[in-house]
Amino acid sequence: MDPLTLLRGVLDTAEDAARALVGRERIRLAVTGLSRAGKTVFLTSLIANLLAAGKGARTLPALSDAAGGRIRRVFVVPAGTETVPRFDPDAHLGALAADPPRWPERTEDFSTLSIAFDVERRTSLGGLLPDRQVTLDLIDYPGEWLLDLPMLRQGYAAWSAETTARLRHGVRADAAADFLAFVDGLPADAPAEDALAKRGYTLYRDALRVCRDTHGLRFLQPGRFLNPGPRGEAPLLWFFPLPEGAKGGLADLCARRYAAYLEDQRATFLDPYFSRFHRQVVLVDVLGALHAGEAAFTDTADALSAVASIISGANWLERLLGAAPTRVAFAATKADHVPARARDALAALVEHISFGARGRAEQSGAAVSCHAVAAIRCTEDAVARLEGQAVAAVRGVLLQDGRGATIYPGEVPMKPPEPAFWEAGLFSMPEFRPPRLDPAGASGMPHLGLDELLAWLVGDLL
């Protein structure tokens, strides 16, 4: 831990203690996850259901029960003088309330929002004390950026060697064929020319896009190559991995830009928003990875483990200063894409796929739990016919054409599948249209398991 982070931890811990003394606690909840795991939808549903629960709607029964029924009011904390964008739940609710309803746009930048709870306090003699106010701080960000975290512990040479080795195997090799031909054709002492640097960057970025969009891979670095955010593709990004032994001007230029990129990400995103939080939920589209095939499934597990080694691998001093989460939940998203009988298997599968990540969190002293959730439920359980046999299925409205369809999603294994599973071949799971919701969100949002997840994460603090 560097001295500046240490000082920040001391000051934040002192502030937390002072706030607790006057009944104004603050909970920093890190909602993390790889790209396309559903963070924005998760946050939108969390906010809408909390606000509805604060008005008396029983949208989150498990959380209300964990708090002993003492939550009296929930409201969005008004904006202050923040310099970062503000998460806009109203805009996301607007998309879900459209005709036809549509999913919120993908996140292109980070944003923050705080939700406050007024919680009733009682004395041991049954009397009432002034209400506590507990504030829940939330952030949203592009999931691609999360994969920059492991890079913070790697120099350019080590990152290049690891990345180029990964690119030469499996489906990555085909996706990166043009890039690999380019770097293999460079002289070992290639000069520091921007034309070469930008050409290499463009080919490498395009290879990452194919890996993500065609093959469902998630262990793709750097994150801003796939989602540059509002600042666009600045010259800072014009670097790429070079084969081992590369020297000269181009190698030096790429190394300098790599270091500058990490410093920029650290200063503008990672340190301000990932240096300290109390509770953490890691969202994983394990079902999407399963349907994308063995390479995507294995890659998702590797990416999860690499990220968790940074997020959850706190030492005793960091934990003493409150610079690491005390509870970490791993949640398989899109649980509504499988019937009820398969959801326990989905939770068990995320438990297996997150094995390395969970181990690191537990070693650092955090309590760990695994869940299967759907932040917005857009299907209902149904029965389909498969080769004359009745099978459990789900029914929903297809996003593409608005047609109702009953889908058999296949069996969900409770642990990483055997080779024969992959040989059978899988189909692409269709995208379902979200249910049309009240634009004011007054009645909350239909979900699966969101209340149990929140009860485990923060119920004890309410």
Q: How far apart are CA 139 and CA 280, in angstroms?
A: 11
Q: How far apart are CA 388 and CA 317, in angstroms?
A: 61
The CA-based diameter of the chain, rounded to the nearest angstrom, is 81
Which candidate, 258, 259, 253, places its Cα nearest to that of 192?
253
Q: How far apart are CA 453 and CA 462, in angstroms?
A: 14
Query: Do 205 and 277 contact (CB within 8 A), yes or no?
Result: no
- The whole-number pLDDT of residue 354 equals 82
- The whole-number pLDDT of residue 116 equals 94
Q: Which residue has the tokens 């944003």?
A: 111
- The whole-number pLDDT of residue 277 equals 81
Residues 6+ apart with CB under 8 A from 355: 301
Query: Do 200 and 225 contact (CB within 8 A), yes or no?
Result: no
Residues 6+ apart with CB under 8 A from 71: 53, 54, 63, 64, 117, 118, 119, 120, 462
Say whether pLDDT at 17 is over 60: no
In this structure, the number of other CB atoms found within 10 A of the CB of residue 361 comes to: 27
Say whether pLDDT at 198 is over 90: yes
* Token duo for residue 340: 């009820």
Q: What percent of the chain has pLDDT over 90?
A: 48
Q: How far apart are CA 397 and CA 98, in angstroms?
A: 15
* Token duo for residue 17: 């203690």
Alpha helices in 124-276 (DSSP H): 156-167, 170-175, 177-184, 194-213, 223-226, 249-265, 271-274
DSSP calls for 447-462: -BSHHHHHHHHHGGG-
The answer to which of 29-33, 126-130, 160-164 has the lowest mean pLDDT is 126-130
Say whether pLDDT at 9 is over 60: no
Say whether pLDDT at 316 is over 80: no
Say whether pLDDT at 248 is over 80: yes
Q: How many CA atoms lie within 13 A of 202 on its CB side?
A: 6
* Token duo for residue 152: 């913070």
Say whether pLDDT at 320 is over 50: no
pLDDT band at 139 (very low <50, low <70, confident <90, very high): confident
Mean pLDDT of 415-430: 80
* Token duo for residue 236: 């800072």
- The whole-number pLDDT of residue 72 equals 85
Residues 6+ apart with CB under 8 A from 68: none
Residue of higher predicted confidence among 162 and 428: 162
The answer to which of 21-35, 231-245, 380-394 has the lowest mean pLDDT is 21-35
Mean pLDDT of 387-395: 91
* Token duo for residue 355: 């094995």
* Token duo for residue 296: 């995507």
Residue of higher predicted confidence among 234 and 176: 176
| List of domains in the chain | 3-103+108-141+276-377+437-461 (3.40.50), 154-269 (no CATH), 381-414 (no CATH)
Residues 6+ apart with CB under 8 A from 146: 32, 33, 34, 35, 223, 307
* Token duo for residue 253: 């230029």
The residue type found at 59 is: T
Q: Which residue has the tokens 């293999």?
A: 184
Q: How far apart are CA 345 and CA 377, in angstroms?
A: 18
Say whether pLDDT at 461 is over 50: yes
Q: How far apart are CA 148 and CA 32, in angstroms?
A: 13
- The whole-number pLDDT of residue 164 equals 96
Residue of higher predicted confidence among 417 and 199: 199
Packing angle, helices 294-311 and 340-353, rounded to 10: 60
Say whether pLDDT at 321 is over 60: no
Say whether pLDDT at 46 is over 50: yes
Q: What percent of the chain has pLDDT over 70?
A: 88
Mean pLDDT of 26-55: 90
- The whole-number pLDDT of residue 409 equals 87
- The whole-number pLDDT of residue 319 equals 44
- The whole-number pLDDT of residue 268 equals 80
- The whole-number pLDDT of residue 80 equals 80
Say whether pLDDT at 429 is over 50: yes
Mean pLDDT of 433-438: 89
pLDDT tens digit sequence for 208-217: 999 999 999 9
H helices, E strands: number in the chain: 18, 10
Mean pLDDT of 399-414: 90
Torsions phi, psi for 118 (to 5 deg): -95, 120
Say whether pLDDT at 62 is over 90: yes
- The whole-number pLDDT of residue 126 equals 55
CA distances from 214 to 193, 218, 292, 426 (A): 32, 11, 9, 15
Mean pLDDT of 322-329: 76
Sort 385 into a burial class: Cβ within 10 Å, 0-12 / 13-18 / 19+. exposed
pLDDT band at 331 (very low <50, low <70, confident <90, very high): very high
Which own/partner contact pairs does 267-271 have at CB distance under 8 Å and 24+ positions apart?
269/110, 269/141, 269/145, 269/148, 270/148, 270/149, 270/152, 271/5
Q: How far apart are CA 307 and CA 67, in angstroms?
A: 32
Say whether pLDDT at 425 is over 70: no
pLDDT band at 260 (very low <50, low <70, confident <90, very high): very high
The answer to which of 54-68, 89-103, 256-270, 302-316 has the lowest mean pLDDT is 302-316
Mean pLDDT of 439-446: 82
pLDDT tens digit sequence for 352-379: 888 777 777 777 778 899 999 999 999 9
- The whole-number pLDDT of residue 427 equals 64
Q: Which residue has the tokens 């094995």?
A: 355
Cis ω for the linkage preceding 100 (within 30 of 0): yes
Calculate the CA 353 to chain-centre distance: 15
Q: How does the average pLDDT of the chain come out, rounded?
A: 86
* Token duo for residue 195: 């034309």
